[in-house]
């Protein structure tokens, strides 16, 4: 009930970090989340900061707002958050950045669903389709970031 995609980007980790940790820009890259905004007093990435993303599921719908909470925030290394209201975790997402030997950054985007009975049933019945959609979406997101950062 998890998966990941890694893409090499010919850019420094600092440049990649600026993209993955600025949730207000995710609409430029994600095929499903077309906008996001910080909530409350949050103005940028920090553990405990909350934001919400406006999602168009599978690029077709339904369309809804998803509340998120930043769970890990190590500049130039890791940006992770959970999706779910009031501390209820429906999904966890993360970006891990690693300076690559020879230059550039290897960026891994991943998701993990909680290990609960309802989630196991869902994954058994529909997981193959949602897993494929998530994999394709992660690859699209990272490839769009790569294209922007490598543009000259």
Number of domains in the chain: 1
CATH number at residue 109: 3.30.530.20
**pTM, full prediction:** 0.93
Question: In the prediction, which pLDDT does 119 show?
Answer: 85
Domain that holds residue 22: 2-150
How many angstroms separate the Cα of 150 from the Cα of each of 8, 82, 104, 106?
11, 29, 10, 14
Beta bridge partners of 94: 80, 110
Q: What mean pLDDT is predicted for residues 91-102?
A: 96
| Distance, C-alpha 140 to centroid of its chain | 11
- pLDDT single digits (tens) 13-55: 999 999 999 999 999 999 999 999 999 999 999 999 999 999 9
- pLDDT single digits (tens) 108-138: 999 999 999 988 888 888 887 888 899 999 9
* Distant-in-sequence contacts of 39-47, Cβ < 8 A, 24+ apart: 39/67, 45/21, 45/70, 45/73, 45/79, 46/70, 46/73, 47/71, 47/72, 47/73
pLDDT bucket at 99, cuts 50 / 70 / 90:
very high
pLDDT bucket at 152, cuts 50 / 70 / 90:
low
Strands of the chain, DSSP E: 2-9, 33-38, 50-56, 63-74, 78-83, 91-99, 105-112
Residues counted in the chain: 152
């Amino acid at each position: 009930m998890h998966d990941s995609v890694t893409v090499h980007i010919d850019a420094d980790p600092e440049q990649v970090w600026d993209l993955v940790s600025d949730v207000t820009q995710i609409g430029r890259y994600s095929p499903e989340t077309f906008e996001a905004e910080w909530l409350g007093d949050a103005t940028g990435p920090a553990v405990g900061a909350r934001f919400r993303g406006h999602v168009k599921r599978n690029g077709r719908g339904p369309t809804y707002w998803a509340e998120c909470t930043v769970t890990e925030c190590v500049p130039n290394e890791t940006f992770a958050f959970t999706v779910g209201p009031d501390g209820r975790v429906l999904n966890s997402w993360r970006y891990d950045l690693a300076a690559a030997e020879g230059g550039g950054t290897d960026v891994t985007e991943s998701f993990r669903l909680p290990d609960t009975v309802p989630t196991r049933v869902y994954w058994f019945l529909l997981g193959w389709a949602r897993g494929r959609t998530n994999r394709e979406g992660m690859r699209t997101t990272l490839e769009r970031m790569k294209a922007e950062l490598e543009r000259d």
